[in-house]
Structure 1
Amino acid sequence: MRNLYSEVAGNGDPVLLLHGGFCSLESLRAQSDALVPDHRVHAFERPGHGRSPDIDGEYSYAQGLADTIAYCESANVTNAHVIGYSDGAIIGLLLALAHPERVRSLTAISANLDPSAFTDTSAPVLDTPEQNPRPDVERMHFERLSPDGPEHADAVLAKLFRLWTSEPHITPEQLARITAPVLVMSGDRDTIPPGHSLKIAASIPGAQLCIVPGTTHHLIAERPDLISDLIRTFLTDAAATRNTGLRSAPS
């Protein structure tokens, strides 16, 4: 496994947190803190994010998936409730498709299936890093945490924007193969339009959809308590479904 920073806390059913692009685990700290009392929460930071050093070359979601599997194997996480945000949600979808046995449930927050989601007229324009940088709070975390130094932030952002404008490529037909309970979530003012989130949820058998009012792509920071409560409720229901061996019928 790569030299990636990771954390484990709590006891109970395992949870795996997957952070977003140009984020660290600090972005999911509120959700982690809310889950730790009842779950064993596993989390790691992908290359070039948080406390993990960057790699040479470009990023890809396939590599993100490979890093996730490698982390799970090194941490002996055979299956878990997966909670992914943005890039982490895309990786969560790929994990549920490629390795369904590893996913007890999936909470996919602000995921997209392909780069065209960013071009919807209801969504903010995806500009260059210089025109539309990620929030200052994430840059502050990067500058404080990155072993590559604060000056490396722009290089990471440039690679991320190349990733976001070229990947992923997931079809609704592929999503129909997902068997785990799934909660799809996004903000009503998200960079990912609500209609795209609806398409994701409608393509997954039995999936639930939650559009959080008054929030943007940064909904986990804007409404942390609400997001955490929604996730906790979903995990409780998913665990009960797993224990009874039943799945909810699609609505």
Structure 2
Amino acid sequence: MQRETTEGYAAANGVQMYWRSVGEGGTPLVLVHGGFGLADNLDDLAGQLAGGRRVIAVELQGHGRTADVDRPFSSEAFGDDLAALIGELGLGQADLLGYSLGAQASLRAAIQHPDRVRRLVSVSGAFRRDGWFPEVLEAKAHVNSGLFEQFRHSPPYAAYAAVAPDVDAFPVLMDKTGALLARGYDWTEDVRALRVPTLLVFADADGIPPSHMAEFFALLGGGLRDAGWDGAQRPESRLAVLPGRTHYDVVQAPELPGMVADFLA
């Protein structure tokens, strides 16, 4: 069924954040893309989740249609921006789903603004920088504008160039993203104190080892005991590891929409 799409910009801490909305009713769900991504990357997921609820895909500072501002990238700032957008759009309390870089931003929004977030879905995100495989950290360390000539022939750049207000800003996006990826972080105690029910989703061939997935889930109260024959000891949060998927295609997994819809319901 074809659903009407609306779009616009919301003022969020000095950032004019682009958003695109489909569906109506229910608790609003905000979708947050990964690094170098766009709202468009989540169009299929948005369409599948928009039955009976409003789904809003956004673009973070410096990504896609959202112009950059004079501020470094940080997961904490992105989290504040998401909370500000929820307030600016009058959503009250919203659900959040973030992928990769967007998962880090969404997790920080839930930690910093639990009054704005009802439920959280974190797809392929780590709560501590060393939760990523060493080879992934090594690759992250080399992200900067020096790779621009190589990157300009990639699909992410073509998608960016088609919509960005300043196409020449892509090298800055690369440098700011590289600085963010190189930054150390450890949110162990923040996650342990988090009271927002959370669905953790990973690929079984993700950039994050299963040991970190289990540790993440344990901090949320999961995997610590048998749920009992009646399920009474089952935690509010959930863990899903999707088979045959990687960090780069986990959002396209056919199981994901149903799993998310069930959790948010």
Say yes or no: TM over 0.5.
yes
Alignment of 1:139 with 2:139, yes or no, is no
Say whether the 8 Å CA contact 1:105–1:235 is kept in structure 2.
yes
Cα displacement (A) at 1:34: 0.6
1:161 to 178, 190, 195: 178
Alignment of 1:80-229 (within 5 A): 80-120=94-134, 125-127=138-140, 128-129=142-143, 130=147, 136-149=154-167, 151-171=168-188, 173-205=189-221, 206=235, 207-223=237-253, 225-229=254-258
Alignment of 1:29 with 2:43, yes or no, is yes
Partner AA of 1:9 in structure 2: V
Change (3 A) 1:220 1:161: same
Q: Extract structure 1 runs of 4+ deviating beyond 4 A.
A: 131-135
Structure 2 match to 1:244: none
TM-score by length of 1: 0.83
Q: Larger radius of gyration, structure 1 or 2?
A: 2
| Distance in structure 2 (CA, Å) of the matches to 1:67 and 1:135 | 30
Structure 1 match to 2:260: 231
Cα root mean square deviation, aligned: 2.3
Partner AA of 1:219 in structure 2: D
* Percent of residue pairs identical: 27
How many equivalent pairs are there? Answer: 232
TM-score by length of 2: 0.79
Cα displacement (A) at 1:167: 4.2
2:65 to 28, 51, 54: 51
Unaligned runs of at least 5 residues, structure 2: 1-10, 222-234
Cα displacement (A) at 1:84: 1.0
1:16 to 22, 30, 49: 30
Say whether the 8 Å CA contact 1:120–1:193 is kept in structure 2.
no
Partner AA of 1:6 in structure 2: W
Structure 2 match to 1:5: 18
Say whether the 8 Å CA contact 1:82–1:106 is kept in structure 2.
yes
1:77 to 91, 96, 108: 91
Higher relative contact order (CA 8 A, sep 6+): 1
Structure 1 match to 2:225: none
Identify the structure with the greater strand proportion.
2
Change (3 A) 1:140 1:25: same
Alignment deviations for residues 94-152 of structure 1 (CA, whole Å, 9 cap, x no partner): 2222222222211100111232223446x574251339969933222112111111x43
| Distance in structure 1 (CA, Å) of the matches to 2:113 and 2:152 | 31
Say whether the 8 Å CA contact 2:48–2:257 is kept in structure 1.
yes
